[in-house]
Amino acid sequence: MNTMLSENAERRPSVLDNLQKQLDEAVLDMQLYGKALDVFEDDPATRGILHDHLLRTMGTPIVDKILFGLDKDNKLKNGMEFEDSEEQHVQLSTTERTFLAKDLPGQLSSKAQALVEALEGKVCL
């Protein structure tokens, strides 16, 4: 058990660094696509539709990456094993997002649940 905990402690920084890198890239992509909306500044209706579409299509993978990353970090912190597979390329369902968010510890769980609710349009952050 101690060996696994020390191995996990060594892996945690790379998991978090990888998550940060993925999120930075996703935010840059979103900013780039957001700039393209300037072309439609004379057509607010189209701009609004495209803006909503951009948030839905770009926001969902970002939330999924955050939840996968936090889940991995939580498992490493607690000495649990996890599969480092291609799961991050699969879009989660609302139920799966909610399950991952509720499985996180304490205040992190409530913040992750609020993020999932915001993504689903149930609340505004």
DSSP string, 59-91: HHHHHHHHHHHHHHHHHHHTT-----SGGGGSP
Residue 90 banded pLDDT, cuts 50, 70, 90: confident
Highest-pLDDT range among 4-13, 28-37, 54-63, 101-110: 101-110
72 close to 64: Cβ distance less than 8 angstroms: no
**Minimal CA–CA distance to 30: which of 8, 61, 3?**
61
pLDDT score, position 6: 74
pLDDT score, position 102: 96
Q: What percent of the chain has pLDDT over 70?
A: 87
C-alpha 82/C-alpha 79 separation (Å) is: 10
Residue 12 banded pLDDT, cuts 50, 70, 90: confident
Contacts of 110 (CB under 8 A, 6+ apart): none
pLDDT score, position 28: 92
Q: Which residue has the higher pLDDT, 102 or 86?
A: 102
pLDDT score, position 91: 86
Residue 1 clears pLDDT 70, i.e. is over it: no
The pTM score is 0.79
Q: In terms of residues, how long is the chain?
A: 125
